[in-house]
Amino acid sequence: MKVKVKVRRFNPEKDHRPYWGEYQLEAQPTDRVLDLLVYIKGYIDGTLTFRRSCAHGICGSDAMVINGRNRLACKELVKDVGRTIVIEPLRGLPVIKDLAVDMEPFFRKYRSILPFLINDEPPPYTERLQSPEARERFDDTTKCILCAACTTSCPSFWANDSYLGPAAIVQAHRFIFDDRDRGAQARLAILAEADGVWRCRTIYNCVDACPREIDITRAIGEVKKLLLVE
Partner 1 sequence: MIHRFDVIVVGAGGAGLMAALYASRGAKTAVISKLYPTRSHTGTAQGGIGAALGNMEEDHPEWHIFDTIKGSDYLADQDAVKILCEEAVGMVYELEHMGLPFDRTPDGRIAQRPFGGHTNNVTKQPVRRACHAADRTGHMILQTVYQQCIKNNVTFFDEYQVLDLLVNDEGHVAGVTAIHIDSGELHTFYGKATIFATGGFGRLWKITSNAYALTGDGVAVAFRRGIPLEDMEFYQFHPTGILGLGILLTEGVRGEGGVLINGEGERFMPRYAPTVKDLASRDVVSRAIYLEVRAGRGIGGKDYVYLDVRPETVNKYFVEDGVKNPDGTPRRITAQDIRRKLPDISDFCKTYLQLDPIKSPLPIQPTAHYAMGGIPTNNNAEVVIDAQGTVMPGFYAAGECACVSVHGANRLGTNSLVDILVFGRRAGQNAAIYAAQADWPRLPAAAEEPARAALAAIRNGTGREVVAQIRAEMRSLMMDNVGVFRTEALLSEALARLRDLKECFSRISIMDKGKRWNTELLEAWELGCMLDLAEVTTVAALTRTESRGAHFREDFPERDDVNWLKHSLAYLEADGQIRMDTKPVTLGLYEPARRVY
Which residues would be at the binding site for partner 1 (CB under 8 A)? Answer: 11-14, 30, 41-43, 45-47, 49-61, 75, 77, 96-98, 100, 103, 107, 111, 115-117, 119, 123, 125-132, 135, 138-139, 142-143, 145-146, 175, 178, 180-181, 213
Q: What is the rounded CA–CA span in Å between residue 72 and residue 32?
A: 10
Least distance (Å) from partner 1 to the CB of residue 38?
8
Least distance (Å) from partner 1 to the CB of residue 198?
25
Least distance (Å) from partner 1 to the CB of residue 46?
4
Q: What is the rounded CA–CA span in Å between residue 37 and residue 82?
A: 15
Non-local (6+) Cβ contacts of 54 within 8 A are 61, 74
CB atoms within 10 A of CB 178: 21
Beta strands in the chain (DSSP E): 2-9, 19-26, 63-66, 69-72, 84-88, 95-97, 100-101
Q: Which is nearer to partner 1, 11 or 162 (CB)?
A: 11
DSSP codes of every residue in 30-52? T-BHHHHHHHIIIII-TT-----
Q: Which is nearer to partner 1, 213 or 228 (CB)?
A: 213
Helices (H), 76-131: 78-81, 104-112
Q: Which is nearer to partner 1, 111 or 201 (CB)?
A: 111
Non-local (6+) Cβ contacts of 58 within 8 A are 145
Q: Which is nearer to partner 1, 21 or 200 (CB)?
A: 21
Q: Which is nearer to partner 1, 77 or 198 (CB)?
A: 77
Q: Which is nearer to partner 1, 124 or 194 (CB)?
A: 124
Least distance (Å) from partner 1 to the CB of residue 10?
11
Q: Which is nearer to partner 1, 56 or 201 (CB)?
A: 56
Least distance (Å) from partner 1 to the CB of residue 52?
5
Least distance (Å) from partner 1 to the CB of residue 144?
8
Least distance (Å) from partner 1 to the CB of residue 127?
4
**Torsion angle defined by CA atoms of residues 209, 194, 92 and 50, in that order, rounded to the nearest 10 degrees:** -70
Secondary structure percentages of the chain, helix, strand, coil, to 5: 35, 15, 50
Question: Three-state DSSP class for 29?
Answer: coil
